[in-house]
């Protein structure tokens, strides 16, 4: 297919052409935004390595009941309404790796962004949250932690 044929196709199918351009731009925007967000997404296996190798602080933003029903061993429970980068638990870990998680990974992404803006050096986010951890067949502990 040459350029003239491509232009002819675009002329015959404008909606498909606009759709392709729109999807391409959306994918490019998402990927570029991910590169510049300042924190890194982790898969569950990567998180276990970070905890074991670098003694990362894991902050769980799940509700109290969800946290007590199952959380990553050693993680600290912080309610989303009380999440503050200047909190004494977090402020003491400013130079350490800090991983933020929640049940699905949605609330924790925003919290990771806040930590990075507050000057935390090594900020991570568990992509998929505790659900991804469970799907990877990794253990959870019950209770207050």
Domain check: are 28 and 89 in the same one? no
> What is the domain-level CATH number for residue 57?
3.40.250.10
* Residue 90: closest CA among 60, 46, 50: 60
Contact 76, 37 (CB under 8 A): no
Assign residue 13 a region (left: φ > 0; alpha: ψ between -120 and 50; beta: otherwise). beta
Count of structural domains within the chain = 2
d(CA 123, CA 76) in angstroms, rounded, equals 15
* Residue pointed to by tokens 């994918």: 27
The reply to whether 54 and 109 lie within a common domain is: yes
- Find, among 82, 131, 76, the residue nearest to 99 by Cα: 76
Is-contact 126 46, C-beta < 8 A? no
pLDDT-based confidence at 71, cuts 50/70/90?
very high
For residues 7 and 26, membership in a common domain is answered with yes
Specify the pTM.
0.74
pLDDT band of 37, cuts 50, 70, 90: low
Q: Which residues pair with 53 in a beta bridge?
A: none
53 lies in the same domain as 23? no
Give the structural domain span for 73: 40-135
- Percentage of the chain beyond pLDDT 90 is 52
pLDDT the model gives residue 62: 94
Cite the active site residues. 102
Token pair for 60: 């769980």
| pLDDT, tens digit (0-9, with 9 covering 90-100), for 4-20 | 888 888 899 999 989 99
Ramachandran sector of residue 137 (left: φ over 0; alpha: ψ -120 to 50; beta: rest): left
Residue 61 and residue 86 share a domain:
yes
Domain-located, residue 94: yes
Query: Is position 145 within any domain?
Result: no
């Amino acid at each position: 297919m040459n350029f003239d044929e491509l232009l002819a196709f675009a002329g015959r199918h404008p909606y498909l052409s606009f759709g392709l351009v729109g999807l391409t731009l959306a994918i490019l925007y998402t990927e570029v935004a991910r590169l510049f967000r300042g924190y890194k997404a982790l898969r569950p296996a990567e998180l276990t390595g970070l905890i074991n190798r670098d003694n990362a602080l894991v902050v769980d933003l799940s509700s109290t009941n969800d946290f007590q029903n199952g959380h990553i061993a050693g993680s600290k429970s912080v309610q989303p309404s009380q999440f503050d980068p200047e909190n004494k638990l977090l402020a003491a870990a400013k130079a350490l790796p800090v991983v933020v998680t929640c049940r699905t990974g949605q609330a924790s992404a925003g919290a990771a962004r806040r930590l990075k803006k507050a000057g935390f050096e090594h900020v991570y986010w568990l992509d998929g949250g505790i659900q991804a951890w469970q799907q990877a067949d990794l253990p959870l502990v019950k209770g207050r932690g």
